[in-house]
Structure 1
Amino acid sequence: MKLLEGVRVLDISTVIAAPFAAGLMADFGAEVIKIEMPEGGDPFRRLGPYHGGQALRFACMGRNKKSVTLDLRTEKGKEIFLQLVEKSDVVIENFRTGTLDKWGIGYAKMKERKPDIILSHVTGYGQTGPYKNIPGFGTPATAFSGMTYITGYPDRPPVSPSFSLTDYIAGLYTAMGTMMALYHRDALHGKGQEIDVSLYEGVFRFMEILCADYDKNGIIRERRPKLNGTSSPGGTYKTKDEKWVVLVCSTDRTWEYLTTAMHREDLLADPLYVTMRDRVKNDSSLDKIVSDWIGSKDYLELKAIVDAAGVPVNLVYSIEDIFADPHYQVRNDIVEMPHPVLGSIKMPGITPVFSETPGEIKWVGPELGEHNQEVYGKLLEYNESYLGELKKEGVI
């Protein structure tokens, strides 16, 4: 039995954050029915990169989901959607705030058909507040969260993440919030509820250091390529053979391990570096000592030394490094799945790992409307004649 077997999710969202949340639930056995517009479907199906004209990303984002087509803007489409709500546990959506209510299929209408339904909203700025109606996208939301401001070098423009980090973080919060709502409903009080997830708040939740420092010390953290003054030594360093590595010593114990690895136990007694506060204060001189030592070693030599000593150091991995690493392979972090057009495609595996109820990738992102017959014919018991009528009218 799968962890979420028996849970049915209607995914009426598009692109990244909310579909990612639904996909996480699908990985662990939830039946996720992805509802898409009849013409074109989710825009994510057409986003690059491409191989031979085939968009690659939907294979992973749509995995384990059933795709049906349905135009929610039509009266018949709205009624069909509400019939699906009656048979479901969760709806996940990311339309602009108020859109479902405008269409007449908002949460109040859903509850009329399924009183304990759970509805998870994902928007740029949430369901309340002066910015609730502003369209939300990951990169602007990252800037709004405060993360972009502190990322990069002080003499260069702020740096945005090179992929949709904020969207994926919001997806994690959505999946977590949805699961907590399911627990509250099924194990505690029997009631459904709405979950309000914004793109920016998931990242802002990580900013407790910035909040506390500004609140109590009036400090506005600025961009720097190191660890923002919270621990020392630490940062990105280049080895003798020009490999980039990352080191962090965020505890006194790891600092002791590093001095042992460097054969510089004398530094432990140096008044400049005795405590973490001392080391942060004198980070520049300590950074020079560590940088010179790392720069005197080839990467493989360095890695052997620091691993034996218990010092957290890692090569800055490219995707090529990841594909070649045996740890990724043993952990099944990269899986290869059959694909109807590409033959096969590799994608990230399932995390976290459960000992009794592991997740499973059953299929890659389906073709648009691939499961119309199964969902409408079996779940809603529509006959072939009615399905043909709906298709002719453009409802599905």
Structure 2
Amino acid sequence: MSQKPLQGVKVVEFGTLIAGPFCARVLAEFGAEVIKVESPDGGDPLRQWRKLHEGTSLWWYVQARNKKSVTLNLKHPDGVALARKLCANADIVIENFRPGVMEKLGLGWEVLSADNPGLVMVRLSGFGQTGPMAQQPGFGAIGESMGGLRFVTGFPDRPPVKSGISIGDSIAGLWGAIGALMALRHREVNGGRGQVVDVALYEAVFAMMESLLPEYSMGGHVRERTGNIMPGITPSNTHTTRDGEHVVVGGNGDAIFKRLMLAIGRSDLAEDPALAGNAGRSARADEIYAAIDAWVGAHDVGDVLDVLKRADVPATKVYSIADIFRDAQYAARGMLEEAALPDGAAFHVPGVVPRLTESPGATDWLGPRLGEHTDSVLAALGLGAENIAALRESGAI
């Protein structure tokens, strides 16, 4: 197997919690050397988020996999000096502080790029590095709300709802990783000069919002919450089976719709010329959904899925993590990786995506102990054991 595609790329991560660390995680999974700088006083708060095992978050072991943890006290001048030295040898620096924090620490773009003109600096923040809201705090929930996602999520007679995960942060992290790779490519073909990748959470979400803007700009249309259906794309909905399971049925292709209607015993709808195209189906969406609801509601989930599979109609049960854990497709593609915690306890972590046939990513190690790699990373910078011991004694690391 060939080496990973980002082998040889050096990354310094100053991120905490989700957006910055997720960005760095993607790079680490594909071979980048990611040095995660953490405060000696507890490190990244994500270490203590959600379900813990022996005092450490299970999430942490995934979010920080393949990363090296180095503790630096960025309130100590020697800690800042070491951070600058790390950045001077890096290809990418990732940070997700509020704009201006890195500058106050003495680690702003002007300083770091003067030390390292080829540096790419990924800056993730609530509202970006410029504009009237730049200095305001902004988390993923704010980005999802201001970016338009939450307004269209939920049912029309109820308040907007959130996704079950911190999707805004993760989307921003992905844009950060994409931007970093594009900036590295630009550096390669344009004389070696680095640049800033400026990712605002609300813009990262807004970029995913499909036709929201042109529909409003052209005719004043405001897309509203529509529950589990997408108006104008019919049929695609969630239905409840006789045994109380929820299934999604996507029959919005012309040929697929006909197969679906025949499968549920509605040949009248299958052969109706007015329903042969999406526009006609959307005009009679309530009638179509009532027919599917009635059929699905009269059968158990296994029978529903068997019938639709034979009819070649896209359909699935709405999976819980328990369903995912026992699903043959997930297992066949290695998406449920077996791993072991430091105390030997067995658990699973998600497989790495996307899949590259020649140079795939992988989990090389799980999220490290706080400061686990401090000594080895500083030794690689040329510091001796006595120097490192003195820095630790002074509180710099």
Which residue in 2 is equivalent to 1:222?
224
Q: Which residue does 2:90 correspond to in 1?
A: 88
Amino acid at match of 1:22: A
Partner of 1:146 in structure 2?
148
Residue 186 of structure 2 aligns to a residue whose secondary structure is: helix
Q: Which residue of structure 1 aligns with residue 287 of structure 2? A: 285
What SS does structure 1 have at the residue aligned with 2:112? helix
| TM-score normalised by structure 1 residue count | 0.96
Contact 2:251–2:257 (CA under 8 A) maintained in structure 1: yes
Matched, 1:78 2:80: yes
- In the alignment, structure 2 segments of 5+ residues that lack a partner are none
CA contact (8 A) 2:120 2:195 kept: yes
What is the aligned partner in structure 2 of residue 99 from structure 1?
101
What is the TM-score when the length of structure 2 is the normalising length?
A: 0.96
Q: Does the 8 A contact of 1:234 with 1:247 survive in 2?
A: yes
- What CA distance in whole angstroms lies between the structure 2 residues aligned with 1:32 and 1:53? 24
Distance 1:285 1:119 in 2: 54
The answer on whether the counterparts of 1:336 and 1:347 sit within 8 Å (CA) in structure 2 is yes
* Paired residues of 1:337 and 1:363 also in contact (CA < 8 A): no
1:296-315 equivalences under 5 Å are 296-315=298-317
- Give the Cα separation in 2 of the matches to 1:94 and 1:253: 47
Distance 1:334 1:48 in 2: 20
Shift of 1:263: 3.9
Does the residue aligned with 2:197 lie in a helix, a strand or coil?
Answer: strand
**Does the CA-based 8 Å contact 2:144-2:150 persist in structure 1?**
yes
Rounded Cα–Cα distance in structure 1 between residues aligned with 2:288 and 2:345: 53
Structure 1 partner of 2:37: 35
CA deviation profile, 1:185-241 (whole Å, cap 9, x unmatched): 124542211001111212211213221221122121221213331311121101122
Map of 2:8 onto structure 1: 6
Distance (whole Å) between structure 1 residues aligned to residue 209 and residue 283 of structure 2: 22
The aligned counterpart of 2:135 is 133
Look up the equivalent residue of 1:21 and give its one-letter code: C
1:352 aligns with 354
Q: Is the 8 A contact 2:47 2:57 kept in 1?
A: yes
Q: Is the contact made by 2:262 and 2:270 (CA closer than 8 Å) also made in structure 1?
A: no
Counterpart Cα distance in 2 of 1:162 and 1:200: 18
Aligned-pair identity (%):
39
Correspondence for 2:185 among 171, 183, 186 = 183
Aligned twin of 1:234 = 236
Aligned residues: 395
Q: Which amino acid is the alignment partner of residue 385 of structure 1?
A: E
Contact 2:13/2:94, CA 8 A, preserved across alignment: yes
Please, what is the CA RMSD of the aligned residues? 1.5
Is the Cα–Cα contact under 8 Å of residues 89 and 118 in structure 1 kept in the other structure?
yes
Quote the Cα distance in structure 2 between the aligned partners of 1:257 and 1:130.
54
Query: Where does 1:317-356 land on structure 2 (aligned, <5 Å)?
Result: 317-341=319-343, 343-356=345-358
Q: Does structure 1 conserve the Cα–Cα contact (< 8 Å) formed by 2:76 and 2:395?
A: no
Instruction: Name the CA shift for 1:57/1:332 in 2 (closer, same or farther; >3 Å).
Output: same
* Aligned residue runs from structure 1 range 146-225, under 5 A: 146-225=148-227
Q: How far, CA to CA, are the matches of 2:70 and 2:314 in structure 1? A: 47
C-alpha distance in 1 between matches for 2:291 and 2:107:
64
The answer for unaligned runs of 5 or more in structure 1 is: none
Equivalent-residue separation in structure 2 for 1:329 and 1:272 (angstroms)? 43
1:221 and 1:228 in contact (8 A); partners too: no
How far the C-alpha of 1:343 sits from its partner, in A, is: 2.3
Q: How far does residue 298 in structure 1 lie from its aligned partner after superposition?
A: 1.9
Whole-Å separation in 2 of the counterparts to 1:307 and 1:202: 36
Rounded to whole Å, the distance in 2 between the matches of 1:58 and 1:353 is 23
Q: Mean alpha-carbon deviation: is it higher for 47-56 or for 330-339? A: 47-56
**Bigger Cα displacement from structure 2, 319-328 vs 253-262:** 253-262
Match of 1:112 among 102, 105, 114: 114
What residue number does 1:393 align with?
Answer: 394
